[in-house]
């Protein structure tokens, strides 16, 4: 079976949704390790409660280049046998930009979730920007990670209607509920070998 690593920095609710889906035998993948760049990330406790190994690769105060930090992550991935050959790395609220070297090494084996319909509103505060812009629809996107912020072939998107009285918080809440559905589904498709990448597009085999 393929091995999964999830990188987090905080709350870890997407991580939890994925791990619970694996527990319910919905996704044929081994949850090998959860890695956080912050020692106090709440998600670490959730992972431990769910019986999944955790590691911290502290980033605060790290002085080297981006790739120097990412190499430390790769060491942990290799320790848990999450390799580009048999593994998937999910970024789930991991608040760091990862290096081109890491991306190249794990090309099409790193996924991310973003709380907007990419390519609209990449980067931080997507939900706030959506409300301020006055968009009528938003949603969330799971995509493979490429060089660039929130770019890379899109795997799944889902739509959320923006209400007239939505605030950043209320919209974020409804988007998050959809994130918890599409991220486990994207991991399931991956684990079942159903995602083919063709240029910018992904083709989902039935």
Helices 13-23, 168-191: inter-axial angle, 10-degree rounding: 40
- Counting contacts by CB under 6 A, is residue 53 touching ligand GRF? no
Q: Of 74, 80, 75, give the one whose Cα is nearest residue 102.
A: 74
Query: How many helices and strands (H and E) does the chain possess?
Result: 6, 9
- Counting contacts by CB under 6 A, is residue 150 touching ligand GRF? no
- Counting contacts by CB under 6 A, is residue 93 touching ligand GRF? yes
Which residue is catalytic, options 109, 114, 143, 180?
114
Rounded Cα distance, 34 and 44, in Å: 7
- Counting contacts by CB under 6 A, is residue 12 touching ligand GRF? yes
Q: Of 127, 135, 195, give the one whose Cα is nearest residue 164.
A: 135
For the CB of residue 127, give the shortest distance to ligand GRF in the complex, in Å: 8
- Counting contacts by CB under 6 A, is residue 38 touching ligand GRF? no
Active site residue 143: no
> Which one of 3, 38, 109, 114 is in contact with ligand GRF (CB under 6 A)?
114
User: What residues line the site for ligand GRF (CB under 6 A)?
Assistant: 8, 10-15, 92-93, 113-115, 176, 179
């Amino acid at each position: 079976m393929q091995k999964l690593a999830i990188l987090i920095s905080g709350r870890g609710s997407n991580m939890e949704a994925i791990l619970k889906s694996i527990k319910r035998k919905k996704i044929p993948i081994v949850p090998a390790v959860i890695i956080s760049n912050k020692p106090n990330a709440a998600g670490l406790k959730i992972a431990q409660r769910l019986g999944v190994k955790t590691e911290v690769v502290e980033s605060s105060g790290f002085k080297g280049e981006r790739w120097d930090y990412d190499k430390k992550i790769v060491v942990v991935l290799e320790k848990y046998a999450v390799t580009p050959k048999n593994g998937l790395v999910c970024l789930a609220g991991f608040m760091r930009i990862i290096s081109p070297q890491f991306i190249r090494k794990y090309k099409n084996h790193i996924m991310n979730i973003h709380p907007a319909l990419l390519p609209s509103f990449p980067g931080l505060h997507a939900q706030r920007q959506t409300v301020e812009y006055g968009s009528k629809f938003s949603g969330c996107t799971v995509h493979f990670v490429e060089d660039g912020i929130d770019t890379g072939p899109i795997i799944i998107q889902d739509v959320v209607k923006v209400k007239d009285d939505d605030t950043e918080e209320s919209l974020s809440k409804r988007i998050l509920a959809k994130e918890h559905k599409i991220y486990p589904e994207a991991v399931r498709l991956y684990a079942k070998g159903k995602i083919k990448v063709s240029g910018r597009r992904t083709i989902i085999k039935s």
